Amino acid sequence: MRAGPNGFDLTRHAVPPSQILSGGPPRDGIPALLHARFVPASQSQLQPDDRVLGIAIGGRAKAYPLRILNWHEVVNDEIGGLPVVITYCPLCASGVAFDRRVDGQTLVFGVSGLLYNSNVLLYDRQSESLWTQIGMRAVAGPRTGARLRSLPLYHGTWSAWRARHPGTLVQSFDTGFIRSYDRDPYVDYPATQRLMFPVEPRSNRLPAKTLILGVEQAGEARAYPLGDLRGTAGPVRDRLGGREVRIVYDLEAGTATVLDEKGREIQSLVTYWFAWYAFHPDTGLWQGTASSR
């Protein structure tokens, strides 16, 4: 076996190995959480406007504070009997939840310390394959080409999540690690349009770090700038992948939800424009009253 960056074998790959870059830390230098602790909402130390990722399955709801995810990026967990992994990439502001089961095996994920298009590369400890978070697939290693099943995930304020799910559990700051969870290690990153790592392709149709809501349906992708959605008077009606959709902005949550014609939620992703475009170069862009490419 040929050792590559951070000890991963890139002999089998779906993206150019030259585009798999070190993010700085070694493998597991950013420690994934394997046994997260949770407390009831009433015992949470969070402030109302703290941002969380939230997931609800089988009548259970859990919230994962970004204050923790900024330091760990990956939480292996289970909810409603389903093994899940909650992932967050601070460089892309992207949170994605996945079913950890692949080909009948429940995987355990860690942080590789490597990036592809400035997006975190997870690795599974069973095969040591590398998985791109936004691309949702294995891009190097024995499982190259395999895909992860993503799950609906809330990305907004703690107060709005708690209002929607009063019985939610919330991840405890007692993680077993000594970290400054009151300090954001990326606090200055959103203040500039400069990227820390190469990304290809790029688009200048929006500033690189514009937060957008990305949606893909039936092979058609579209980005909705959150700032523009915030200024709308009501739900935005659009057509995507041959289906009518409604995008509803929640002022308290500071995020938006995509619904189909029957009012069912469609999966979407809050992330920076540069990250969405890098993985969806054919994306359309909603511009207030219309969508264009």
The residue extents of the domains of the chain are: 16-170, 205-292
Alpha carbon distances (Å) from 204 to 99, 196, 207, 232, 284: 34, 17, 6, 24, 14
Q: Classify domain 16-170 by CATH number.
A: 2.102.10
3-state secondary structure at position 9: coil
Segment 22-38 shows an average pLDDT of 97
Spatial CB neighbours of 109, under 8 Å, sequence gap ≥ 6:
32, 74, 76, 85, 87, 100, 122, 123, 124, 125, 131
3-state secondary structure at position 162: helix
Burial of 287 (0-12, 13-18, 19+ CB in 10 A): middle
Q: pTM score > 0.85 for this model?
A: yes
Q: For the segment 137-178, what is each residue's pLDDT rounded down to a tens digit?
A: 999 999 999 999 999 999 999 999 999 999 999 999 999 999
pLDDT of 218 > 70? The answer is: yes
Asked whether the beta carbons of 250 and 259 are under 8 A apart, the reply is no
Give the model's confidence band at 261: pLDDT under 50 very low, under 70 low, under 90 confident, else very high: very high
Cα 244 from Cα 67, distance rounded (Å) = 36
215 CB-side CA count, 13 A: 26
Cα 200 from Cα 61, distance rounded (Å) = 37
pLDDT of 278 > 70? The answer is: yes
User: Regarding beta strands 74-79 and 82-89, do their DSSP bridges make them parallel or antiparallel, or are they unpaired?
Assistant: antiparallel
Q: For the segment 58-110, what is each residue's pLDDT rounded down to a tens digit?
A: 999 999 999 999 999 999 999 999 999 999 999 999 999 999 999 999 999 99
Give the model's confidence band at 234: pLDDT under 50 very low, under 70 low, under 90 confident, else very high: confident
pLDDT of 15 > 70? The answer is: yes
CB 272: neighbour CB atoms within 10 A?
26
pLDDT of 1 > 50? The answer is: no
